[in-house]
Structure 1
Amino acid sequence: MPSLPGCITEGDTIQEVPENAHEAIKGYLEALKLQVARCLKRIFSYFTGKLRFHCDDDTALSSDM
């Protein structure tokens, strides 16, 4: 799949190629989904640790309350 870097497939017959391509794309997208989830978790953890909520009376409340 030229538009999906590293996503490669083959088949012994012309009939196998579409099925193999479908499986390769599914695997590629699943791996991409897991990678994005890990990145979002790291980003969320970083910002959750930094986040503070401020009240009108200047009292800082931790985001984990």
Structure 2
Amino acid sequence: MQASKGDRLVVHGRVVGKQDHVVEVIEVLGPNGTPPYRVRTENGHETIMSPGPDSVVEHRKASDTV
């Protein structure tokens, strides 16, 4: 898994009826874009995360960069 600042991590719910959890990568702490990542949730909470196999990276689009 590789991510960059501004990408989103989507952690899929593992139980029927549980929604996906989406966070924004605000800092990459591992080498070459690998985990762990400092992430921010929708409510502004920041934490360090090493995503598991139930997670995917949504890379930011080139048009999203300013």
TM-score range, shorter chain: under 0.3
| Greater strand proportion | 2
Q: Which has the higher helix share?
A: 1
TM-score by length of 1: 0.23
Q: Which has the larger radius of gyration?
A: 1
Q: 1 or 2 for the larger relative contact order (CA 8 Å, sep ≥6)? A: 2
